[in-house]
A and B are shown apart, each in its own frame.
Chain A
Amino acid sequence: MSLPWGGGRDTMRPPVIDASGLEKVYLMEGGFEVRALRGLDLRVEHGEYLAIMGPSGSGKSTLLQILGCLDAPSSGSYRLAGEEVARMDEDALAEVRNRRIGFVFQAFNLLPRASAQRNVALPLMYRGVRSGERAERATAALARVGLADRAHHRPNELSGGQRQRVAIARALVTEPDILLADEPTGNLDSNTGQEILALFDVLHDEGRTVLLVTHEQEVAQRTERIVHIRDGRVEASERVAPAAPAPGGAAPRGAP
């Protein structure tokens, strides 16, 4: 079953995310089962900018793990850029994560002893890119997020916002099919958070597919579409009307 709001910007390509009937059952201690996902369907087209919202216990985190190929669903189908990944083993999933997904975490998750450049180059290493090319591409990605002059700084020499920019550069460096950001502003003050969100706006404007997981309405309002999750299903999916006609990127969009 497909959802009615496939953006259709690039109808020649398969959707980035085409998940149907996703179920996830956790077997808890004592033998009872927790059904975190109960037949969830989700379709995300290329170039879409959407937010996933939901209260805790809604299955939001489980969904993100499955969409991010960090975990496999108990049943259902998940096609990522046309490739069925629901039955893949661990190593194959690792390869898919590396190739297709750029993660941005709430806690940044940078390697503390490595420079910004080496942090950004890390996914390229797991792809087998030679070290010279890694450095080149990492430098370009850092320039893309406005940190060209911080390439050789370590995370502890950078501010919170700068660290999250490094993490975004790391997510971009492999040219993934989709950016998955899990509460990317959760550890930042509101001004810095706005800067990071503005960066996501720009990336979207450049044609990238961006999926934010957030519990902040204000953050979700910047996207084009909000998917509400409850009890392991999609409860509602609403289009966000652009508040400002000028998609400048840096200016906040959506309802105030």
Chain B
Amino acid sequence: MILENLRSALEALAGNRLRSVLTLLGVMIGVFAVTTTISLGAIATAGITGQLQAFGNQALFITPNEDNPASTPFNDADVDALSRLPVSVLRQRSVRGVARAGTEEAPLVVNGVTANAPQVDRTIKMARGRYFTEAEDRRAAPVMVLSADAREALFPDDPNPVGREVSVTVGGSRTFYTVIGAKEPLTGAFSFAANASADVPLQTFYLAYPAVTRGEYPFLPITVSLERNLGDIEAQVNAILARRRGPDTFRIQTIEGALTLFKTITTILQAVLGGIGAISLLVGGIGILNIMLVSVTERTREIGLRKALGAKKGVILQQFLIEAVALTLVGGLVGLAAAIGTLYLAVALVPFLDEVVLSPFTVLLGLFVSVATGVVFGVWPASRAANLSPIEALRYE
């Protein structure tokens, strides 16, 4: 009986193909919006979280409090005090200049950093050569590690520039460096930060750019060893800096904090888009309601006949409910397929999305939502059909 009802439902829908398609459009868009929103949120969260955690969530990033005019850059004494904690602190200064290698010329950011940079900044991965050592830093060796973008700009034909020479002009004075390494390109969530830059030892940097004040740092990246509790370390860092510099003169950012912020934004976006999806489902449902009422009226005689031949109320109710659900389910399936296609497209196009995460929950939710729309908005027309008197229905012209 259910199969036969399903068959007549599909025949009825196929008999009014254009009308059916237009009707299920609303449900299609609704299911599409709801499932895309939920999945995209999950995919983005998974991608960003995974990448940030690979970077190391045991990290702190300290900046002066820009709202406080009394706040000053950090100095060596600050770094020395913090270094007594079980942490690794990076000292870093930067200048902008123009680099030349052979006939190539490109703008370049030169970072003077200590040799512990690869331990503090986990995004540093070497494609060629090596990073510089503490010994090279101490004796101010003129060596340089290129970012992937810088390598591409200065040595477009040479993937391995180790041993070659680069000159950097800053404020009219020119310095020569030997390339000892090239980094891998930044990936995923960090790719937006990619630029043409080069790391040189901090002591070399001070020697080459005497205009830069020694021992002043606009920010301090800190890495905490994994076995330590990040919260405890954060509290100790806070205490040390507050004692040395005064309260409210600095800010401590954590990856956890960034993640929380990101998750909040994602949740708000999901709520907004989900709301739009819900509204279009409502509109789609009203479309279903409307078309089912039309269908019941059009088929009044058919309903009368079926009742005359022995169909009970429940059977007629079932028939029209199946028809409404078939309509919304087809809409839901198309919407779901479109959503999955969009997700794959988004992952292919957006750099910080890793892979399509399609939870069975999302698929089931999409199907459930479409079936529920059919039931909710089909019940009234179906019960109208079921309650038609067979005599009235047979007499209906």
Contact = CB atoms under 8 A, between A and B. Distances in A.
Interface stretch (B8-16, B289-297, B347-355): B8-16
A128 interface: yes
For chain A, the bracket of interface size reads 20 to 34
Contact of A95 (B308, B310, B389): B310
Given A105-B394, A109-B301, A126-B315, A131 B310 contact: no
Given A113-B12, A131-B4, A91 B310 contact: no
A114 interface: yes
Contacts of A103: 308-309
Interface string A187-218: 00000000000000000000000000000000
Contacts of A68: 308
Contacts of A111: 8, 302, 305
B391 interface: yes
A170 interface: yes
Contacts of B301: 109
Nearest to A62: B391
Contacts of B307: 94
A123 interface: yes
Contacts of A105: 305, 394
Nearest to B314: A91
A97 to B, nearest CB: 5
B3 interface: yes
B311 A94 contact: yes
A122 B312 contact: no
A113 B11 contact: yes
Contacts of A70: 308, 390-391, 394
Chain A binding site: helix, strand, loop or mixed by DSSP?
helix
Interface in B235-257: none
Contact of A114 (B8, B310, B314): B8
Given A90-B313, A125-B1, A131-B4, A97 B12 contact: no
Nearest to A99: B310
B308 A91 contact: no
Contacts of B12: 113
A91 B391 contact: no
Contact of B394 (A109, A113, A126): A109
A123 B313 contact: no
Interface of B is mostly: helix
B312 A95 contact: yes
B367 to A, nearest CB: 27
B251 to A, nearest CB: 72
A68 B389 CA distance: 13
Contact of B310 (A65, A71, A97, A109): A97
Contacts of B125: none
B306 interface: yes
B305 A94 contact: no
Given A71-B391, A109-B394, A113-B12, A97 B3 contact: no
Given A125-B1, A131-B4, A94 B312 contact: yes
B311 A126 contact: yes
Contact of A122 (B15, B309, B313, B391): B309
A51 B68 CA distance: 105
Contacts of B1: 125-126, 128
A221 interface: no
A98 interface: yes
19 contacts: A68-B308, A70-B394, A90-B313, A91-B312, A91-B314, A94-B310, A94-B313, A98-B309, A99-B310, A103-B309, A105-B305, A109-B301, A109-B308, A122-B309, A125-B1, A126-B1, A126-B311, A131-B4, A170-B309
Per CB-CB distance, the 8 closest pairs between chain A and chain B, nearest first, are A98-B310, A126-B310, A123-B309, A109-B305, A91-B312, A94-B312, A113-B11, A70-B390
Given A90-B312, A113-B11, A127-B310, 8 more contacts: A94-B311, A95-B312, A97-B308, A109-B308, A109-B394, A111-B305, A113-B8, A114-B11
